[in-house]
Structure formats: C-alpha cells, structure tokens
Structure 1
Amino acid sequence: MRPAHVLRLPAGLTLRGSARSVLVVALLLAACALLCAVTVLTGTYKITTEGALGVLAGDGTRLDRFIVLGQRLPRVAAALLVGAALGLSGALFQSLSRNPLGSPDIVGFTTGSATGALVALLVGVGGLSVQAGALLGGLGTAAVVHLFTLVRGAGGNRLVLTGIAVGAMLASVNDFLLTRADLEAAENAKTWLHGSLNAISWPQVVPLGFCLLLLVPPALATARPLRLMEMGGDVAAGLGVPVGRVRMSVLLLGVGLTGAAIAAAGPIGFLALAAPQLARRLTRTPGIAPVAALAMGATLLTGADLLAQRLLAPFQIPVGLVTGVLGGAYLLWLLATDGRRRRTG
C-alpha cells in the first residue's frame, strides 16, 4: 500500500471534522425537542406551555402533574431512548456487515430478543424477567449467528443471510409459544409484539436509561475501527485494528442496545434499518455515522409515536404499526432510487 494512500485515510474517516455532520445532528436534536414539546402539550387533555412549565417547576394542579409527569414525560423519554438505542444498534450492525440490510430486525437479533421476552412472559422460566429474557434471547441469537459465520467472518452478506435464516426459525418459535399460551396471555403478548409505548412508565424508562448510559459510550468508541473495517478485514488488520476483538465487541454492544430497547417497548420494526441510512444520506459521510444514526432514531421514533397517539385519537395504536408503514415506504423509496442510480450510472 502506498504511503500517500495511508496518509489520506484519517481525513476520509473522521466524522468529527465534518461540519455537515454536526449541522445534521444539531437539526435532528432540534426536531426532537420540538416533537417532545408537541407531545407533552397536545392531546385529549389540553395543557398550556405555562402549565407544563409550572409542573416541571414543582407547581400545577394534581391532574396536570399526573398527565405531564406520570404519562407524557415517561412516554417521550422512552421514545427518545428506544429510538436512540435502535438507531445506534442499526448503525453498528450495518457497518459491521457492510450491508444496508444488516440491521438487528433483519438479521434476527430482534426476533431472538422477542423470543427470550416471550419465554419470560408466557412460560415464566425460573422467574425470568422480560428484560433479562430479551437480553438473553438476543445474546443467544447473536452467538448462533456468530458461530455460523465464524469460518469466513461476520461480515458482508454471510451475516445477513445467516441472520435471516435464524430469525425465520425463531419467528416460528414465537408463533408456537403464542399458540400454547392461554387466550388472555396470548393477546397481551401479541399486543406487545407489535411494539408499543402506550402503557410505559418510569419503572421501564429508568433501567433503559441506565443501560444506554453504559452501552452508548463504548459503542460510539467503536466508530473509528468500524470505519476502517468497512474497507475489509485484511486492510483494517494491516492498519492495526484488532478485527476479531472489535467484531465481538460490536456484536455484544449492538445486541445489548437492541435487547434493552425491546425489553422496554417490544420489537419495533424498520427503525434500526432506516435510521442509519437516512443519517448517512443527510450527512453524506463515506460510511455509517453512528452519532447521526442515534439522533435520527430518536427523532423518527418520537415522530412515529406522536402519529400513533394522534392519528385515531382518542384511540392509540402501537407505534410499531406506524414504523412498519414508514419502513415499508422507505424500502420502496430505496429500491426506486437504487434502480434510478443504476440506470443513470
């Protein structure tokens, strides 16, 4: 490899130096703040800006405090945290696999986490909690996929195809668990499988925030070695990247983020698939931008949950149904733009 090429690598691989990336993240955070304000201030029960600020300052009526602090704020916080976790995990897996389809809901990790949570919900093995079940299910799925891809490495189409196969088998396991449960438990589990923030409260939000506090910093720290690994494992190893260790760390961090999000809100589809790609197109970076993907995931889920609350008000639909519709539209758009690019190229 020529020295000149090596010297150009840091300039092309550093996210921090991109003014456009910083601007995109700032705009996404501003959009998040606006969506959060609209979610808190609007709804069946009307509350003014002054009333909401008074509640946050410790004043306000008992009903205002219940609506703002007990219902709307935990839901907004959950949407931000779950969206950020899914956006970041999607960025990790897509960068690791070097494939835009390499998101946890496509490669089976989301389905595996759902399997573990369903076992906890419907079978109740050893008093296993839903959170622990989701995490163990995701880790078990990741271990199986990693074993199948160990010979040639967990990259490229091999990871995606193996994950799709394992996910299809686990989806059948999930259906079997539903058929063996009693009617009431099966209905509750089926509702949970759609992905919803309707009944979320602070006891679910606080553990999720703690998990993200532990997982997000090391996940962001893997951005630079992952960027190098996008050029190929041999090239990255030649540049001093411990490829095997980084690969395993990314798998564990991505599964941890996915499991934490699913434990709080259920499996929410397409968000981890779309957020990193939309962030990449906005920032125009040569690879996946994890910070922008995190902010994009939070923005998308906050907006989708606002639609889920308002579209059929006063009835509320699971946010997973909204992200499913938006994700399908995104895939159609992606196919259309890809076909147009190939024709013009």
Structure 2
Amino acid sequence: MNMNTASAPSLRTTTVCMGVAALIVLVALLGMTIGAVTLTIGQVLDGIAGGESAFIVMQYRAPRVIVSILAGASLGVAGTFLQGALRNPLASPDVVGITKCAGLGAFLAGLFTPPAWAIWSIPAGVVAGTLVGAFALLAIGRSFGGGIAALALVGVALGMLAQALMQYVMVLFPTRADQSMVWLAGSVYGSTMADVLALTLWLVVCLPFVLIATIRLDAGGFGDDTLTSLGMSPGRLRGGLILVSVALCASSVAAVGSMGFLGLLAPHAARMLVGRRARHLVPVSALIGALTLSAADLIGRLAALPNEIPAGIVAAVIGGPYLIFLLIKEVGRHD
C-alpha cells in the first residue's frame, strides 16, 4: 500500500511529462511548416531525415523551434526557483523585473560596444542586467518588509524603470530603435544554429547547479528557524536558488529578449498538475515553459500571416490576465 502510494506521484509526473513532450513535438513540427515556403509535416520529417527540404528545415526552421524550446524551459525553471527562494507565488523573473533589467543590459551593451564584440558584450550585458535587477529587487523589497505585495510592486517598478531607460536611449539613438524593439517585445525570429549552440552550452554549464538547486528547493519552503535547526543557512540557500534562477534567465534573455510571464505561468501550471515536490515540479515546469513559448511563437505566426506577432506579446496577452487572477486569489486568501 505504501509502495503504491509513493509511486503514484512519480507515475503521474511521468504521464504528464510524456503528454507535454508530445505536445511540444507536435507544436514544433507545425512551427517548421510555416515560412516563405509552406511545407507539409511529411516534408518537415523528410527534411529532418536529410531529404530534399533539409536545407530549409535545418538552417531556417529548426533553429527557431529549438531556441524557443530551450529558452522556454529555462524561464520555466527560473520561475520555479525564484518562487521557491522568495516563498512568493508571484515571483517570476518578468513580474519582479529581472528580465527587463536583463534586456536593458543587453541593449546597452550592444549599443555602446563595436558590432564585432556583440557575441561577447551582449551576454555580458545580460548577466550584468540580471544581477543588478535581482539585487535591487531583494534590497528594496526587504526594506518594505519583503511581503508579496511589496515584492510585486517593487518588481513592477524595476521593470518599468528598465523599460523607460531603454526607451530613453532609443530616443537618443533612433537608428537602433528597430533592433531594440525586438528586445522589448521578445521574439525568436532570426534564430540560428549558432544561437542554439550557445544556449545549449550555457544550459549544460548550468545543469549541475540546477540539479543541486532542485534537491534544495523543497527546503526553501521552510521557515528560517526550521532551516537553522536543521543546520542550514537560510540566506545561502535562498541566495543559491536566486543565482541559479538569474543564470537561467540570463541565457534566455540573451537568446530571445525580454519574454514576459513564462516564469510565472509554467510553475503554477506544473504545481496544479504534479504538486509541490521539487523533483516532480522542476521537470514539468521546464516542459510547460518550453511548450508555452513554442505555442506562443506558433500562434503569433499564424495570427498575422504573412507577417507575425512577436512571441513575447502573445505570452503577455496570456500571462497578464493570469497575473491579475493570482493577485485577486492572494487578496481573497488573506482577507
């Protein structure tokens, strides 16, 4: 009986993972059919296998799909760790302003360094922006008590400030406005195999830290007194979770720009499906994040053919109302 009870969550998680993974594959195949030349799913599969459409599929269609999957998964896991570290269901990288700070850092780095340095300067700007945003959030939020409302409001303010600074720089340098709008909206348009390789390498480097953070995530829900009694440092535990979240967020923003609400949606959806245990929650959050960004990109391309709506705008249209729902739910829970 106990063995059956213990295996039930694992079986449910496996089933959910397989179902979401199947949806990701379906969305990816549909995404690779759309472009200047419309392909059938059969032609896409033939191209993946090295057939006649291999050049179109592998050079133009596949990189976009792969980047959306990797970036979405990163944001989903980043949101999970951030919510666990702050014990705040509203604490996603976008809501607390980290992704916008990262986008600002990337934009400034690309603007004020030679184009030949962009491959190094933009990732460095993203890392700098995420670190500044994370530390500003914690410092200012703590001064207001660190509650749900305080962190949410401080995060929104940080995001608005970062976006305002970016728009101000756009006014000063209007010739770069078109490029900066991609960062503001968030898009996987123009992704290449070089982007896939860079993002993959970064995630491989982050993987050991993600595994360690997953093991520690459940402890993040305990109070400080409980953690101390167990011989753990609350500050180090939560600081580590935040740093891993920042690293994952940085890689995603470097690849797709300031993508909204994925880090909020994925953990909540995963929690409803498999519960709060970290070993179930983290992989499902990653898969749901990947599915959400891939689907947002597909919807944006289908809704405005032959043009497209950036995936970040589609994600914001979905995530904005959901954030309002969560705020109403939290207010009702505390009344």
Which TM-score applies when normalising by structure 2? 0.86
Distance 2:125 2:171 in 1: 19
Q: Which residue of 2 aligns with 1:68?
A: 57
Q: Which amino acid aligns with 1:117?
A: A
Q: Deviations over 1:307-327 (max 9, x none)?
A: 111111111121111011111
RMSD: 3.1
- Contact (CA 8 Å) 2:97, 2:156: kept in 1 or not? yes
Distance 2:241 2:304 in 1: 39
The 3-state SS of whatever aligns with 1:73 is helix
Cα 1:44–1:73, aligned 2, differ >3 Å: closer, same or farther?
same
1:262 corresponds to which of 224, 248, 253 = 253
Determine whether 1:297 maps to 2:286: no
Q: Which amino acid aligns with 2:194?
A: P
The 3-state SS of whatever aligns with 1:289 is helix
Q: Which amino acid aligns with 1:259?
A: A
- Contact (CA 8 Å) 2:90, 2:148: kept in 1 or not? no
Q: Which amino acid aligns with 2:101?
A: G
Q: Which amino acid aligns with 1:177?
A: V
Q: Which amino acid aligns with 1:331?
A: L
- Contact (CA 8 Å) 1:90, 1:102: kept in 2 or not? yes
Cα 1:44–1:337, aligned 2, differ >3 Å: closer, same or farther?
farther
Q: Which amino acid aligns with 1:75?
A: R
Cα 1:185–1:257, aligned 2, differ >3 Å: closer, same or farther?
same
- Contact (CA 8 Å) 1:225, 1:241: kept in 2 or not? no
Structure 1 residue ranges without an equivalent (≥5): 1-11
Q: Which residue of 2 aligns with 1:56?
A: 48
Determine whether 1:252 maps to 2:243: yes
Structure 2 residue ranges without an equivalent (≥5): none
Q: Deviations over 1:226-250 (max 9, x none)?
A: 2122121221232233322222221
The 3-state SS of whatever aligns with 2:54 is helix
Shift of 1:202: 1.2
- Contact (CA 8 Å) 1:122, 1:177: kept in 2 or not? no
Where do 1:52-201 residues align within 5 Å? 52-60=44-52, 64-124=53-113, 127=117, 129-148=121-140, 159-181=151-173, 183-201=174-192
Percent of pairs identical after alignment?
Answer: 31
Q: Which residue of 2 aligns with 1:282?
A: 273
Q: Which residue of 1 aligns with 2:194?
A: 203
Q: Deviations over 1:148-191 (max 9, x none)?
A: 4678997866554544443343333222222211x221222123
Q: Which residue of 2 aligns with 1:331?
A: 323
- Contact (CA 8 Å) 1:97, 1:157: kept in 2 or not? no
Distance 1:71 1:307 in 2: 18
- How many residue pairs match? The answer is 327
- Contact (CA 8 Å) 2:266, 2:285: kept in 1 or not? yes
Cα 1:48–1:169, aligned 2, differ >3 Å: closer, same or farther?
closer
Q: Which residue of 2 aligns with 1:34?
A: 26
- More off after superposition, 136-145 vs 68-77: 136-145
- More off after superposition, 297-306 vs 191-200: 191-200
Distance 1:317 1:205 in 2: 22
